[in-house]
Amino acid sequence: MTAQSEAPVADETFHRIYAEVLQFYARTMQLLDAGRAADWAESFTEDATFAMPSRPQPVRGRDELTAVAREGAAGLAKAGEVHRHWHSMVSVEPGSDATLAVRCYAQVVATKLGGSSRLHRICVCEDVLVRGGDGRLRVRSRRVTRDDLA
Amino acid sequence: MTAQSEAPVADETFHRIYAEVLQFYARTMQLLDAGRAADWAESFTEDATFAMPSRPQPVRGRDELTAVAREGAAGLAKAGEVHRHWHSMVSVEPGSDATLAVRCYAQVVATKLGGSSRLHRICVCEDVLVRGGDGRLRVRSRRVTRDDLA
Amino acid sequence: MTAQSEAPVADETFHRIYAEVLQFYARTMQLLDAGRAADWAESFTEDATFAMPSRPQPVRGRDELTAVAREGAAGLAKAGEVHRHWHSMVSVEPGSDATLAVRCYAQVVATKLGGSSRLHRICVCEDVLVRGGDGRLRVRSRRVTRDDLA
Interface predicted TM-score of the whole assembly (ipTM), two decimals: 0.91
Return d(Cα A136, Cα A45) in angstroms, integer.
10
Q: What mean pLDDT do residues C54-83 have?
A: 97
Are residues C107 and C121 in contact, defined by beta-carbon separation less than 8 angstroms? yes
pLDDT score recorded for residue C43: 98
CA atoms within 13 A on the CB side of A116: 8
- DSSP class of residue B6? P
Q: How many CB pairs under 8 A join A and C?
A: 69
C117 contacts chain B (CB < 8 A) = no
Domain ranges of chain C: 3-149
Return d(Cα A79, Cα A74) in angstroms, integer.
9
Neighbouring-strand partners of residue A101 = A93, A128
Q: Is B44 helix (H, G, I), strand (E, B) or coil?
A: strand
Return d(Cα B145, Cα B148) in angstroms, integer.
9
Q: Tally Cβ neighbours within 10 Å of residue A13.
A: 11
B136 contacts chain C (CB < 8 A) = no
pLDDT score recorded for residue A12: 55
Q: How confident is the model at residue C78 (pLDDT cuts 50, 70, 90)?
A: very high
Q: Rounded to a whole number, what is the distance in Å from the CA of C22 to chain A's nearest CA? A: 7
Alpha helices in A50-97 (DSSP H): 61-79
C90 contacts chain B (CB < 8 A) = yes
- Just give the CATH number of A3-149: 3.10.450.50
Q: Which of A121, A147, A148 should one mutate to test binding to chain C, selecting the residue with the greatest count of C CBs within 10 A? A: A147
Nearest CA in chain C to A118: C118
Q: Do A16 and B15 touch (CB under 8 A)?
A: yes
Q: Tally Cβ neighbours within 10 Å of residue A58.
A: 14
Alpha helices in chain B (DSSP H): 14-33, 37-41, 61-79
- DSSP class of residue C3? G
B36 contacts chain A (CB < 8 A) = no
Contacts for C46-50: CB closer than 8 Å, 24+ residues apart: C46/C1, C47/C1, C47/C140, C48/C138, C48/C139, C48/C140, C48/C141, C48/C142, C49/C140, C49/C141, C49/C142, C50/C139, C50/C141, C50/C142, C50/C143, C50/C144
Q: Is A48 helix (H, G, I), strand (E, B) or coil?
A: strand
pLDDT score recorded for residue C13: 85
Q: pLDDT tens per residue, chain B (150 residues)?
A: 333 333 333 466 899 999 999 999 999 999 999 999 999 999 999 999 999 998 999 999 999 999 999 999 999 999 999 999 999 999 999 987 789 999 999 999 999 999 999 999 999 999 999 998 898 999 999 999 999 998
A135 contacts chain B (CB < 8 A) = yes
Residues of C in contact with A147 (CB under 8 A): 82, 84, 111, 117
Residues of B in contact with C104 (CB under 8 A): 26
Residues of C in contact with A88 (CB under 8 A): 86, 88
Nearest to A122 among C18, C84, C114 (CB): C84
pLDDT score recorded for residue B11: 61
pLDDT score recorded for residue C115: 97
Q: What mean pLDDT do residues C42-63 have?
A: 96
- DSSP class of residue C149? G
Residues of C in contact with B25 (CB under 8 A): 89
Contacts for B51-58: CB closer than 8 Å, 24+ residues apart: B51/B141, B51/B142, B51/B143, B51/B144, B52/B142, B52/B144, B53/B123, B53/B144, B53/B145, B53/B146, B53/B149
Return d(Cα C52, Cα C67) in angstroms, integer.
14
Residues of B in contact with C90 (CB under 8 A): 22-23, 26
pLDDT score recorded for residue A9: 45
Q: Rounded to a whole number, what is the distance in Å from the CA of C135 to chain A's nearest CA? A: 15
Tens digit of pLDDT for each residue in A20-74? Answer: 999 999 999 999 999 999 999 999 999 999 999 989 999 999 999 999 999 999 9
Q: How confident is the model at residue C52 (pLDDT cuts 50, 70, 90)?
A: very high
Longest pairwise C-alpha distance within chain A = 50
Q: How many CB pairs under 8 A join B and C?
A: 70
Residues of A in contact with B7 (CB under 8 A): 7, 131, 135
Neighbouring-strand partners of residue B111 = B82, B117
Q: Do B112 and C148 touch (CB under 8 A)?
A: yes
Residues with Cβ within 8 Å of C77's Cβ and at least 6 positions away in sequence, in order, are: C35
Strand bridging mode A81-94 / B59-60: unpaired
- DSSP class of residue C63? H
Are residues A104 and A85 in contact, defined by beta-carbon separation less than 8 angstroms? no
Nearest to B119 among C92, C103, C119 (CB): C119
Pick the CATH number of B14-149 from 3.10.450.50, 3.40.50.2300, 1.10.3720.10, 3.30.1370.100: 3.10.450.50
Neighbouring-strand partners of residue B108 = B85, B121
C145 contacts chain A (CB < 8 A) = no
pLDDT score recorded for residue B132: 87
Q: Which of B11, B14, B17, B23 should one mutate to test binding to chain C, selecting the residue with the greatest count of C CBs within 10 A? A: B23
Strand bridging mode C117-131 / C137-146: antiparallel
Q: Give the helix, strand, coil percentages of chain B, each rounded to 5.
A: 30, 40, 25
Neighbouring-strand partners of residue A146 = A123
Nearest to B148 among A85, A117, A131 (CB): A117
Phi, psi (deg, nearest 5) at residue A122: -115, 120
Contacts for A92-98: CB closer than 8 Å, 24+ residues apart: A92/A14, A92/A17, A92/A18, A92/A21, A92/C23, A94/A9, A94/A10, A94/A12, A94/A14, A94/A17, A95/A10, A96/A10, A97/A10, A98/A6, A98/A7, A98/A8, A98/A9, A98/A10, A98/A130, A98/A131
Question: Is the pLDDT score of C8 beyond 60?
Answer: no
C27 contacts chain A (CB < 8 A) = yes
Tens digit of pLDDT for each residue in A94-141? Answer: 987 789 999 999 999 999 999 999 999 999 999 999 998 899 999 999
Helix (H) or strand (E) holding A123: strand A117-131
Q: How confident is the model at residue A3 (pLDDT cuts 50, 70, 90)?
A: very low
Q: Rounded to a whole number, what is the distance in Å from the CA of B6 to chain C's nearest CA? A: 25
Longest pairwise C-alpha distance within chain B = 66
